[in-house]
Amino acid sequence: MADLTQKQKDSLIILRGSSLFINGKVSGQTIEDVHLRGAFNSKDGLKGELVGYTSASNIRERTIPENIFSAIINSDTGSLKKTNFTKFLKDFQFNDYDGLLPEFKGYEIDENWIDDPSPLLRLRLLFKGDKLYGVFHARDLNLNSAITIKVKCGFYFSTFSQDDKINKELVNSFNEFITSVD
């Protein structure tokens, strides 16, 4: 979602050479006229939907959440504390989500709606207290210290605990959840 002026909202166009603002910060500049898919008023001002594509070579490695997550995990053995994930959770706009079991707190981001109008999860981090317990994920992760288990519907669970009983409960709960959604 890009921030818009009233003129951009009314015309559904951001003209060539305009700065692109996202959440009040300059995030780029248009090199041609950009036609908006839609525009609306939000509590944060006028917003417009930008839809497009780019070459994979244009995507910076540090903008891929799986890469950043793996780097945090692999940085050292003490990195599993929740405080080490505060910036990551904020930067990638994770939402609070059910931790599947009462003693867990979950944070999730979904796949994008461009590929799927009803996107499923991409990453769901599970914390038990202040410690990362595991993560359900749709894409490959490069984690040195995790045990990864294939679960239903093409997802994976990577855990940092050897507690087979809890791991099995989490997997069963996730499988029940994921098979009940569209």
Q: What is the pLDDT of residues 1-48, one digit of tens each?
A: 889 999 999 999 999 999 988 888 888 888 989 999 889 888 889 998
Whether 112 and 42 map to the same domain: the answer is no
Query: Which range marks the domain in which residue 109 is found?
Result: 61-180
Residue 56 has pLDDT above 70, yes or no: no
As given in the structure block, the two tokens for residue 50 are 């930008």
CA 155, CA 2: separation in Å to the nearest integer?
31
Residue with tokens 């839609």: 38
Share of the chain above pLDDT 70, in %: 90
H-only helix segments in 5-84: 6-11, 65-75
Same domain, 68 and 140: yes
Rounded Cα gap, residues 166 and 95, in angstroms? 23
DSSP string, 121-177: EEEEEEEETTEEEEEEESS----TT-EEEE-GGG-EEEES---HHHHHHHHHHHHHH
Domain count, the chain: 2
Q: Is 118 found in the same domain as 35?
A: no
The answer to whether residue 164 scores a pLDDT higher than 70 is yes
In whole angstroms, give the CA distance from residue 109 to residue 176: 19
- Shared domain for 14 and 77, answered yes or no, is no
Residues 131 and 76 in one domain: yes
Taking Cα atoms as reference points, which of 111, 114, 112 lies closest to residue 153? 111
Give the residue among 16, 17, 22, 54 at the shortest CA–CA distance from 35.
16
pLDDT, residue 180, reads 87
> Rounded to whole angstroms, how far apart are CA atoms 88 and 160?
19
Query: Is residue 91 domain-shared with residue 34, that is, in the same domain?
Result: no
Confidence (pTM): 0.72
131 and 74 together in one domain:
yes
**pLDDT given at position 68:** 92
Each residue of 101-115: pLDDT tens digit?
Answer: 999 999 999 887 666
